[in-house]
Amino acid sequence: MTITAAQVKELRELTGAGMMDCKVALGETGGNIEEAVDWLRKKGISKADKKAGRTAAEGLVGVDAGVREASIVEVNSETDFVARNDAFQEIVRNVSKVALAYGETDAIAAAKYPGSDKTVTDTIKDAVGTIGENMSFRRAAKLTVAKGAVASYVHNAVSENLGKLGVLVAIETDGDAQAASAFARQVAMHVAATNPLALNAEEVDPAAVEREKEIFADQARQSGKPEAIIEKMVEGRMRKFYEEVVLLKQAFVINPDLTVEKALAEAEKAIGAPAKITAFVRFALGEGIEKEESDFAAEVAAAVKN
C-alpha cells in the first residue's frame, strides 16, 4: 500500500522517531498508526511511550463543589476568544451547578437550566445565535462520599472554578473533613501534573497491561537472553510501569520522597483517622478531540481564483 506524507508526519509527532523509521514502520504494519507506534517501541526507536491525541477543541472546564461532593464539566467552543467571553463563562458555571445535582451527562443535558424553563441543551443552542459561535456540552462527572471530602482543582484558572484542566479527588474518612479536603486538593494538583491512568494497579485496563508486557518482552528478547531471564526483566519493567501510571504508586509531586500512598498515610495524622482515596476525575480541555486543520494559504488562493 502507499504510505502518505501525512501518515509519516502523524507518526513522527506521536513517537519522535525519524522520517525513514516512521515510513518503514507504517509499511510493516499496513499503514496502521497504532500498530506502527508499537512496532517502533519494540525496535527501541520510538522516543514516546504513549500515544497522545492532539488537543485542538476550545472552551472551558468548570467545577462546582460542596463538602462531600463535586462536579466537573466540559463545554466546548470553536475559539479561545469565545471561551474568554463572560456570557460563555456564565453558561459553564451554570452547567457545572446542574451537574452537581444530576451527575450524569445525559441527565444534565435534559435538565432545566438555572433560572429558565429551557433545558441545558436548548439554552446552549440559543446561546449559539447570541454569541455567534458553535458551542456544545461535551461531558460531565460527579464524585460523592458519605464521610470525608471531595476536593477540586483547576489549573491556570481563567476565572473562579473555570479553566482548561480540572480535577476532582474523593477521600473517605471518619476523621476531620477539613484536613481531608486539604490533602485531597494536594492530590488533585498531583493528578493534574501526572495524569495517572488508574487509582490502583487493579483498575489499569487489562488490554493496556498486556500490551506493555508484550512490548517489554520483545525488547528484552532482542538482548538474546533466555526466556527465564526475560520473564524477570518484564516483571521489573511492569513494576516500573505501575509506578508511572498508577496514582497510589506515583511519587507525590508535593514530596517526591513519598508515594501518594505513603503521603496519604502521613496525612492520616492530621485527619485523625484512617483515610482512603476512593476516586479521581481529570478533564483536560479537548482531549480525544481532533479539530480539522485548514490550510489558510490554500483557502485564500481558492478565494482569489473564484
Whether 295 has a pLDDT exceeding 60, the answer reads no
Whether 55 has a pLDDT exceeding 50, the answer reads no
3-state secondary structure 257-280: EEEHHHHHHHHHHHHCCCEEEEEE
Instruction: State the DSSP code for 18.
Output: -
User: Which domain-ending residue is among 19, 34, 52?
Assistant: 52
4 shares its domain with 68: no
For the chain, how many structural domains are there in total?
2
163 shares its domain with 127: yes
151 shares its domain with 166: yes
**224 vs 120, higher pLDDT:** 120
62 shares its domain with 47: no
The domain spanning residue 172 has which CATH number?
A: 3.30.479.20
Report if residue 223 sits inside a domain: no
Report if residue 203 sits inside a domain: no
18 shares its domain with 94: no
Ramachandran area for residue 64 (φ above 0: left; ψ -120 to 50: alpha; else beta): beta
Q: 116-151 pLDDT, tens per residue?
A: 899 999 998 888 767 777 888 999 999 999 999 999
- Do 148 and 173 meet the contact criterion of CB atoms below 8 Å apart? yes
36 shares its domain with 132: no
45 shares its domain with 79: no
Distance from C-alpha of 58 to C-alpha of 241, rounded to nearest angstrom: 32
Report if residue 248 sits inside a domain: no
pLDDT of residue 140: 95
Report if residue 271 sits inside a domain: yes
134 shares its domain with 275: yes
The domain spanning residue 24 has which CATH number?
A: 1.10.8.10
**8 vs 194, higher pLDDT:** 194
Q: 139-185 pLDDT, tens per residue?
A: 999 999 999 999 999 998 999 999 999 999 999 999 999 999 999 99
pLDDT of residue 151: 96
Rounded average pLDDT over 77-86:
87
144 shares its domain with 270: yes
62 shares its domain with 6: no
For 8, the domain range is: 1-52
Whether 288 has a pLDDT exceeding 80, the answer reads no
pLDDT category at 305 given cuts 50, 70, 90 is: low
22 shares its domain with 69: no
Distance from C-alpha of 148 to C-alpha of 135, rounded to nearest angstrom: 36
- Do 248 and 260 meet the contact criterion of CB atoms below 8 Å apart? yes
85 shares its domain with 19: no
Q: Which residues lie below 8 Å from residue 211, measured CB to CB, with a gap of 6+? A: 38
Look up the pTM and report it: 0.72
Report if residue 252 sits inside a domain: no
Give the 3-state secondary structure of residue 294.
coil
Whether 7 has a pLDDT exceeding 90, the answer reads no
Report if residue 116 sits inside a domain: yes
DSSP 196-261: -SBSSGGGS-HHHHHHHHHHHHHHHHTTT--HHHHHHHHHHHHHHHHHHHBGGGSEETTEEEEEHH
Report if residue 149 sits inside a domain: yes
User: Which domain-ending residue is among 52, 68, 83?
Assistant: 52
pLDDT category at 11 given cuts 50, 70, 90 is: confident
Report if residue 123 sits inside a domain: yes
